[in-house]
Structure 1
């Protein structure tokens, strides 16, 4: 376990216990920021290796850190913005508040009020920024490419180690099991395709919460009825999901809606080509040489975009190489961290709100 710095300059709150895209972002960014800053996470559901503050450590935030006029509280959810506001405005603690928005929809009045109280705002894409009514800085996500990388032992060997059929290539869909994530679109596309492509298997990885158990059950019934129960597998949620990317030859991101969406970037960093719906930043992140982009909620388009990769090994290899090249060039984690740190530095140096965000 890493020891939290005794005098953190930056606090990254995480108030959601279950793994999510936001939590994954925090898990990746905190160690990267720690190369250059004194930073600590705060909240439940975080791995032991992260530098973290406990509840008893919060009183440290009542005074400024050594060498800085204030600490930065970097929130990524509503539930994390509000405590920062209370600590800064009611208790008068020396904090400045940064919020990262990934949402691509009109914010509620309450969320707009919270965002308006921030000292700086970051949008994860220009599309996200279009929904903000305050000045902001666009910083796209990056990926920890020491963690997400092509498997050294080969994909067939990785499949064997994970209990998949090593003789069959694998196409995967990772994320929470629910309608919004398009899991049903992936399953239906696989049912259409795998009967004619005996050398492939489908892998669905992700958590199913109680309210979506019926949705998952219905998908498994459809798979059984198609006689594909041994070739379309639900493997559950895994914190070492990078190992599962290494078992894939193709990744599918069929979401009906997405704020940003890390999974295609993670797949590309593992050298896996991507077929994705045109949501989040997928169209900007996945060039034609690295995969295909299709309209959201269009099963026919999704199926036909996947089909060529299942019977053309040359296309698969070329797209995988292009995916890796794109990820290494455009989405390194260090680039994201340094651009965020530039926002912090502008706050610490007293730059105008127009260059960092705005507090209302």
Structure 2
């Protein structure tokens, strides 16, 4: 991104630094992009550092890092909020070797045993955040669970669902089941397609949408799925619509959402669907069970991962009751009360301000 398009700020007014040292877009990068504006609206004075982030966010220059030796205006230290190993290490060097007044915070989303190196880095942190209770169980240090939230203004039900469907080029008379995200085996796209092939012939008023991109190494996987759909005679009812930047508009076309992942770090798609008033069937991976649990059967159903018969049953059950304003309101209220991004940002601010 050109410098002229990037907003640079003076470190003197920055209280929290969110480093992003990975160029390719990832879930961590997306989290930073969504959170920083909300944190700043709440007065937390956050700036980002590193590539791959949009210019409208407040950026620090690498050449200004020497200014971190001076305490920020109105605070005893700055917070260095790392989310990867490659971001924890520089924080440790700046705090312990260069003696900069920094408080080191690390957010872990991993749901596996950490390497010895990662454990060492985590032990050097002043505070550790887990994105779910399941993630917390893998940490060997005291930690605080702060779950991700979403923008409930961006993800909200359509005022006119038929119009929302027409706007995306869909039949307003059909009900739609969606599966959104990268098209690959890990994401369970094949389980969704196989479920739709089994279910749709018995439900003529329904169709399915696969929205997401297959990266080059997964093109053959996507083509094989499309071939299955064609062989089943459902190419006009199981639609592969590709990747869309206006994904919130596509959620508004749905009557049911399926998250069929075999593995997930956290996973926001069930929240995005429920915030839009759409009930969910999700596998028990990532934080899905924690996201849906309080919603009980109205907002969603959690099933075992990689279990096609369970997905078929849950989908059929949910289809029979997946419409109506009461269910949509329950789904929306569940997210609004528990998973707004403003709640996540507020809890981060409280943790930043805790004494060491």
TM-score by length of 2: 0.90
Deviation, 1:155, is 2.4
Equivalent residue for 2:259? 253
Correspondence for 1:226 among 225, 229, 232? 232
Deviation, 1:71, is 1.4
Correspondence for 2:217 among 191, 201, 211? 211
Deviation, 1:4, is 4.5
Root-mean-square deviation (Å): 2.1
Conserved 8 A contact 1:197-1:311: no
Is 1:292 the counterpart of 2:301? The answer is: yes
> Secondary structure of 2:202's partner?
coil
Deviation, 1:77, is 2.0
Correspondence for 1:147 among 144, 147, 154? 154
**1:248 and 1:60, CA in 2 relative to 1: closer, same or farther beyond 3 A?**
farther
Cα distance in structure 1, aligned partners of 2:278 and 2:55: 29
Cα distance in structure 2, aligned partners of 1:80 and 1:237: 30
Equivalent residue for 2:338? 330
> Secondary structure of 1:131's partner?
coil
Conserved 8 A contact 1:204-1:233: yes
Equivalent residue for 2:249? 243
Conserved 8 A contact 2:288-2:302: yes
**1:313 and 1:335, CA in 2 relative to 1: closer, same or farther beyond 3 A?**
closer
Correspondence for 1:102 among 91, 105, 109? 109
> Secondary structure of 2:353's partner?
helix
Conserved 8 A contact 2:164-2:249: yes
Deviation, 1:321, is 2.1
Cα distance in structure 2, aligned partners of 1:240 and 1:47: 17
Gap regions ≥5 residues in structure 2: none
Cα distance in structure 2, aligned partners of 1:145 and 1:333: 8
- Superimposed CA distance per residue, residues 148-174 of structure 1 (whole angstroms, 9 cap, x where no aligned partner): 11123x222122212233332211111
- The answer to which of 226-235 and 28-37 deviates more is 226-235
**1:162 and 1:231, CA in 2 relative to 1: closer, same or farther beyond 3 A?**
same
- The answer to which of 60-69 and 248-257 deviates more is 60-69
Correspondence for 1:33 among 20, 36, 39? 39
Equivalent residue for 2:191? 185
> Secondary structure of 1:307's partner?
helix
Deviation, 1:62, is 4.1
> Secondary structure of 1:34's partner?
helix
Hey, which bits of structure 1, 4+ residues long, moved more than 6 A?
none
Conserved 8 A contact 1:157-1:166: yes
Conserved 8 A contact 2:186-2:263: yes
Equivalences for 1:68-147 in 2 at 5 Å? 68-147=75-154
Cα distance in structure 2, aligned partners of 1:186 and 1:76: 31
**1:280 and 1:54, CA in 2 relative to 1: closer, same or farther beyond 3 A?**
same
Correspondence for 1:46 among 19, 42, 53? 53
**1:42 and 1:237, CA in 2 relative to 1: closer, same or farther beyond 3 A?**
farther
TM-score by length of 1: 0.89
Conserved 8 A contact 1:265-1:327: yes
Structure possessing the higher relative contact order (Cα contacts under 8 Å, 6 or more residues apart): 1
